[in-house]
Amino acid sequence: MDTHANPLNSDARPVLEGPDIARVLTRIAHEIVERAKGADDVVLLGIPTRGVFLAQRLAVKLEQVTGRKIPVGSLDITMYRDDLRMHPPRALARTEIPGEGVDGRLVVLVDDVLFSGRTIRAALDALNDIGRPRAVQLAVLVDRGHRELPIRADYVGKNLPTSLRETVKVQLAEEDGRDTVLLGAKSADQ
Amino acid sequence: MQRHLISAADLTRDDAVLILDTAEEMARVADRPIKKLPTLRGRTVCNLFFEDSTRTRISFEAAEKRLSADVINFAAKGSSVSKGESLKDTVQTLEAMGVDAVVIRHSASGAPYRLANSGWIDAPVINAGDGTHQHPTQALLDAFTMRRRLIGADAGLGRDLDGKRVTLVGDVLHSRVARSNVDLLHTLGAEVTLVAPPTLLPVGVETWPCEVSYDLDSTLPKSDAVMMLRVQRERMNAAFFPTEREYSRRYGLDGDRMARLPEHAIVMHPGPMVRGMEITAEVADSDRCTVVEQVANGVSIRMAVLYLLLGGNEPAGAQPATSHLRTEEK
């Protein structure tokens, strides 16, 4: 989930900092290996923009744990959104499926913030047009609640109870120059 | 972007680069087992063709269907147009049926502009070629082909054609492809040279943003891309050159001339080709010739245009691909 469309008020406070993010990703990597019994057939697909960076970091952690290279790619869901008609068309991001494909494999979708679940619904539709995985799981850095669809994450970095008057902003070094998760009040124009 | 796509001159650099970048992603859909996206589900697009077409009509239809639009194909031949029905009545019939966009090709220059500004129909209008005026999606697919071949599919993302030297050769006078390409290539920063016999250059060409030459042989070594244009007999009402053989000798591209091009240069043609006239079979079938690639790229470009004009509640604003927005928090 990309959050720079959500300007925060200046009173935003960090709820996760760089070392915390590294730690939760390490934990998620171990959980994936444990649940997938070795992660032999795991493919990581990050949802642009920040989900892709998180997936790449997870792939590095998984390689450290398993000693094997884990295929990592990206899955753009723009064309599958259910609110396309509510906004001007958005620029597309890259969909990059690893050479191994997804057929018969365990696909772990990776995103930064899980909120309404609509993004993940779109991702499942997009994945359906690309192939038939053995199973699909979801890893998110932050679950902020307020689900609008029956969707849940298999791996959660941090459960963050929020109000709808608040906004969550994830910043990652690759895109924003630093690692942090900020929680703040929505600005007045939102 | 504007609501309609009537002329390549209407596109800003940012608009054009956004379309090219979007087409780059659309091209990847062709490599998938399911070559379809749900983006235009529930939208109806009418292809309104008052003039013969193979590539453009099929290309638009393929693009519309890949985006899951409902497609109505209208060809003037065999329709009530032959009974005397006017463009206005035809279009108002479509309006009554509830079409969401009209793709129009017409032999009369200005027909798409008239349609877009007449108030007869409240839908975006995409020009698929009007007379000798404009063919914007052809110019876009040509620019897309050049960017891919001369810069690279990934390396080209977000980039224009700054400094690339493009030569357009042949019947510029009757060519909407040439007009659209000069407009778009200039917008994208390319240096364009027109090469044609004086009789096949339009009045006022000196005001176009390009160079003009009558000598193909001296221009070829300085070209990154050379685009051969078909001599359009169907639009000719006079003798513009003495004989076909003389035209071919001076302005046709054969193997010897192709050898004068720089190593990396490509040969383009919007189609349909007349082999032996403006291009020899040897050149048309060589690895440097991008004709078939242009057709494939045409589907991606038209998917991009349809998505950016119809995919949302209004046309896309030109935004750099890097500022990709995806948020659940709106």
pLDDT greater than 80 at residue B54 = yes
Contact B328 A115 (CB under 8 A): yes
Q: B249 CB contacts (<8 Å, ≥6 apart)?
A: none
A74 touches chain B (CB under 8 A): no
Q: No. of H helices and E strands in chain A?
A: 4, 8
- Residue A7 falls within a domain, yes or no? no
Q: Could you report the per-residue pLDDT of A123-133, keeping only the tens digit for each?
A: 999 999 999 99
pLDDT of residue A188: 60
- What is the SS3 assignment for B176-242? HHHHHHHHHHHHCCCEEEEECCHHHCCCCHHHCCCEEECCHHHHHHHCCEEEECCCCHHHCCCCCCC
Number of domains in chain A: 1
- Residue B330 falls within a domain, yes or no? no
**How close, in Å, is residue A141 to chain B by CA atoms?**
15
Let me know whether B157 and B285 are in one domain: yes
Residue A14: CB atoms within 10 Å: 16
Q: Residue B327: which of A3, A88, A89 has the nearest Cβ? A: A3
Let me know whether B213 and B300 are in one domain: no
pLDDT of residue A1: 54
- Residue B286 falls within a domain, yes or no? yes
**How close, in Å, is residue A65 to chain B by CA atoms?**
32
Let me know whether B125 and B195 are in one domain: no
Mean pLDDT of the residues in chain A? 92
- Residue B13 falls within a domain, yes or no? yes
User: What amino acid positions of B are annotated as catalytic residues?
Assistant: 55-56, 83, 105, 135
Q: Confirm or deny that B176 is annotated as ligand binding.
A: yes
Let me know whether B78 and B199 are in one domain: no
Q: Could you report the per-residue pLDDT of A17-27, keeping only the tens digit for each?
A: 989 999 999 99
Let me know whether B152 and B282 are in one domain: yes
Contact B327 A130 (CB under 8 A): no
Let me know whether B147 and B247 are in one domain: yes
* Contact predicate B90/B80, CB 8 Å: yes
Number of domains in chain B: 2
Let me know whether B145 and B275 are in one domain: yes
pLDDT of residue A11: 76
- Helix or strand or coil: residue B71? strand
- Residue A65 falls within a domain, yes or no? yes
Q: Confirm or deny that B2 is annotated as ligand binding.
A: no
Let me know whether B177 and B148 are in one domain: yes
* Residue spans of alpha helices (H) in chain A: 18-35, 50-66, 118-130, 173-176
- Residue B237 falls within a domain, yes or no? yes
Q: Characterize A106-118 residue by residue with b for buried, 16 or more Cβ atoms within 10 angstroms of its Cβ, and e for exposed.
A: bbbbbbbbbbbbb
Q: Residue B326: which of A2, A130, A131 has the nearest Cβ? A: A2
CA-to-CA dists, residue A111 to A76, A79, A189, angstroms: 11, 17, 26
Structural domain range at position A55: 13-183
The residue-averaged pLDDT of B247-269 equals: 95
Among candidates A81, A8, A57, A78, which has minimal Cα distance to A157?
A: A57
- Helix or strand or coil: residue A104? coil
Which of these ranges, B37-41, B78-82, B102-106, B124-128, has the smallest mean pLDDT?
Answer: B78-82
pLDDT of residue B320: 44
- Residue B152 falls within a domain, yes or no? yes
Q: Could you report the per-residue pLDDT of B5-35, keeping only the tens digit for each?
A: 999 999 999 999 999 999 999 999 988 889 9
- Give the CATH number for residue B17: 3.40.50.1370
Let me know whether B93 and B234 are in one domain: no
pLDDT band with cut points at 50, 70 and 90 for residue B232: confident
pLDDT greater than 50 at residue B328 = no
Structural domain range at position B262: 136-293
Contact A79 B38 (CB under 8 A): yes
Helix (H) or strand (E) holding B14: helix B13-29
Q: Could you report the per-residue pLDDT of A68-112, keeping only the tens digit for each?
A: 999 999 999 999 999 999 999 999 999 999 999 999 999 999 999
Contact B324 A118 (CB under 8 A): no
Q: Characterize B196-223 residue by residue with b for buried, 16 or more Cβ atoms within 10 angstroms of its Cβ, and e for exposed.
A: bbeebbeeebeebebeeeeebeebbeeb
- Helix or strand or coil: residue B297? helix
Q: Could you report the per-residue pLDDT of B237-257, keeping only the tens digit for each?
A: 556 787 888 889 999 999 999
- Rg of the Cα atoms in chain A: 16
- Residue A130 falls within a domain, yes or no? yes
Let me know whether B237 and B272 are in one domain: yes
Contact B34 A130 (CB under 8 A): yes
- Residue A162 falls within a domain, yes or no? yes
A-chain residues near B21 (CB < 8 A): 91-92
- Residue A1 falls within a domain, yes or no? no
DSSP B229-284: ----GGG--S--SS-HHHHHHHH-B-HHHHTTS-TT-EEE--S---BTTTB-HHHH
- Give the CATH number for residue A84: 3.40.50.2020
- Residue A45 falls within a domain, yes or no? yes
- Residue A154 falls within a domain, yes or no? yes
Q: What are phi and psi of B178, to 5 degrees?
A: -65, -45
Let me know whether B77 and B38 are in one domain: yes
Instruction: For chain A, give the longest Cα–Cα distance.
Output: 49
- Residue B260 falls within a domain, yes or no? yes
Quote the pTM value: 0.91
Let me know whether B217 and B263 are in one domain: yes
Alpha-carbon gap, residue B101 to B80, rounded angstroms: 21
Alpha-carbon gap, residue B154 to B140, rounded angstroms: 17
- Residue B321 falls within a domain, yes or no? no
- Residue B116 falls within a domain, yes or no? yes
- Residue A99 falls within a domain, yes or no? yes
